[in-house]
Structure 1
Amino acid sequence: MIDLRSDTVTKPTLKMRQAAFEAEVGDDVFEEDPTVQRLELKAAEMLGKESALFVTSGTQGNQIAALTHCQPGDEVLMEEEAHIFLYEGASMSALAGVQPRTIKGTNGAMDPEEVRSKIRPENVHFPDTSLICIENTHNKAGGAVVPLENMQAIYEIAREHGIPVHLDGARLFNASIASGISVRRFADQTDSVQFCLSKGLGAPAGSIIAGSTEFIRKARKWRKRLGGGLRQVGMIAAPGLIALEEMVERLEEDHSNARLLAEGIGNIPGLKVEKAVETNIVLVNVEECQRTAEQFLDQLRENGILAVPFGPYTIRFVTHFDVSEEEIQITVRRMAEMVNQFKKL
């Protein structure tokens, strides 16, 4: 199978497996795991933040941020197709007791003046706006990079109102490689950041959240409350260090493969690439093939290709470390043959 469902399916490299085997460990709840400490220090330095915390997943990291920044009954602003809103099980409401308020974006980017207009004024009838969330890259926008200038404008508005900004940077390093802008410069426009080690960076598990020393002090307690206080977790953190040291620059290979995939699919009559491909995500509309996304995916699976539905007629493909350029070419060829067979039925 050529697995293009997500970059989460990557397998750890041999060096990551060796690092896990040899990791120096301690009890991380007691803050005694030296490997975790090295990972957190390196992540904080890369992002230009005072401190960082290793967490079990991106969702946990985002929810810890909400719990740390907000109080029950508050309101959080975010783009209407944000991962936090669509794909995290309403955990922000269930756990933090806050109300999401969504804003329609363009390629995942919110209009700063629209953000300004949605900040609640002081009124007994209104919740307090206590957090603004930005997602970069933006998953539902096809891996689009939210421009630095857009983030800067939103951050300035947030500062005017004393509201923190949290970045769901699950694929932040993809944004950096695609734009040529350092992760530190993106992180400068935020009060807290989450990024995944287990997507394009290829580690087997884990994410990082980063912010001020005081933010991380409070976040550590929320991580414990959520059951995320692991013990000898250096065995998982060690591959994360390898990911940050060796897997960042190679993300350009994934982006190149995604462009190759999009170009090939775009030449198949009946298939339409929906968004400009900026990073490692390709969205394809199959409606002209007289198939739903699910029906098309069933046929793809029979042809040895895995992807996921992203709408009634939209399919998402994600390139990653375990998919080669040759496999991209095979995917395009098999899809062309498959679509041609549809026309004969």
Structure 2
Amino acid sequence: MKKAMINSPLGDDVMGEDPTVLKLESMLAEQFGMEAGLFFPTGTQSNLCGVMAHCHGRGSEVLLGANAHLCLYEHGNLSTLGGIHSRQIQERPDATLDPSTVEKMIRADDPHFPRTDVVCIENTHNVLGGVPLPKSYVDELSKVCVENELKLHIDGARIMNACVAMNVSAEDLCENVNSVSICLSKGLGSPVGSVLVGSSEVIYLARRQRKACGGGMRQAGVIAGAGIFAIENNVNRLADDHARAKVLAGVMKSAGFVIDKEPQTNLLFFGVPEGSRLTQDDVIEKASEVTPAAPAAA
């Protein structure tokens, strides 16, 4: 990956002239069946600009999960920077939003209310245990959005993990989605960066928002090169991460830790029983027992 970064041809990305960035953007747009892509320094900014591109302006509203990363861990940027109201819906145990509840939460056209423009989901869902959301659910929610003239955005920080876990292509999974933010620095192992994919119009609008948010970079190919390497070499390694998470869950459970939810992808959430003397050193010791060869045994 470092060699790829060093050897990446460079240009001015703000002017749309960095060949490595352009290659990364087109590569992911094609994989997701979208018209265009846009490189961002962070997933937080990619989500923000993607959602803003779908909204009609200040006073718009987004429907999203109460435990979504967009809701909890992005500094409330939709409201502080975008003037967009976030209306939270409690997720079901499987990390999905009930489509019928989503439909009920859509505002009537009334000057007393913000205008509902976008529905956002997270795939995989971080806080609720790395749960992958299946295509059947995404399509069902998309149908609600289409019928009510809303856009559907996916925070896909770990969407490649979802694709691998469910053995579905990114294009099929996101067939009926308007935009996706893909993080390169989570399971894929790139040091930095995210890519927003969507229609040419969405990417045009998001590019303007990116500049306003300070996300335009000059010779960004040096980091985009790492992203290309990650896409070409690390996606097929994600299944090993998922297997290791399952092995680690079993090892920690046998040691007395409480496993919140059996891992389906690369996230493992655990707790310490009340009164237990288990320490962080015990966690490290058990984690060290899960070697690169462990997934094969699983």
- TM-score, scaled to structure 1: 0.81
> How far has the Cα of 1:109 moved from its partner?
0.6
Q: Which digits, 9 at most, give the CA deviation of each residue in 1:81-106, with x for residues without a partner?
A: 00000111111110111111111112
* Distance in 2 separating the partners of 1:74 and 1:219: 16
Question: 1:147 maps to which residue?
Answer: 134
Q: 1:326 is paired with a residue of what secondary structure?
A: coil
1:326 pairs with one of 291, 295, 298: 291
> How far has the Cα of 1:215 moved from its partner?
0.7
* Distance in 1 separating the partners of 2:4 and 2:264: 32
Q: Which digits, 9 at most, give the CA deviation of each residue in 1:33-89, with x for residues without a partner?
A: 111111111010000000000101110100111221122111110011000001111
Question: 1:35 maps to which residue?
Answer: 20
Question: 2:88 maps to which residue?
Answer: 102
> How far has the Cα of 1:108 moved from its partner?
1.6
Q: 1:194 is paired with a residue of what secondary structure?
A: strand
| Contact kept in structure 1, 2:135 and 2:174, CA below 8 Å | no
Does 1:236 pair with 2:223? yes
Q: Which digits, 9 at most, give the CA deviation of each residue in 1:15-50, with x for residues without a partner?
A: x10011111001111111111111111010000000
Question: 2:274 maps to which residue?
Answer: 288
Distance 1:267 1:303, change over 3 A: closer
> How far has the Cα of 1:126 moved from its partner?
1.4
> How far has the Cα of 1:275 moved from its partner?
1.1
> How far has the Cα of 1:140 moved from its partner?
0.7
* Distance in 1 separating the partners of 2:121 and 2:53: 17
1:223 pairs with one of 183, 206, 210: 210
Counterparts in 2 of 1:264-343, with a 5 A limit? 264-269=251-256, 271-290=257-276, 299-300=279-280, 302=281, 305=284, 325-326=290-291
Question: 2:161 maps to which residue?
Answer: 174
Q: 2:182 is paired with a residue of what secondary structure?
A: strand
Distance 1:100 1:290, change over 3 A: farther
The one-letter code matched in structure 1 to 2:291 is E
Structure 2 gaps, min length 5: none
The CA RMSD measured in Å over matched residues stands at: 2.0
Distance 1:111 1:63, change over 3 A: same
| Contact kept in structure 2, 1:261 and 1:328, CA below 8 Å | no
The one-letter code matched in structure 2 to 1:250 is R
* Distance in 2 separating the partners of 1:21 and 1:279: 32
> How far has the Cα of 1:147 moved from its partner?
1.9
> How far has the Cα of 1:328 moved from its partner?
10
The percentage of counterpart residues that share the same residue type is 39
> How far has the Cα of 1:290 moved from its partner?
4.8
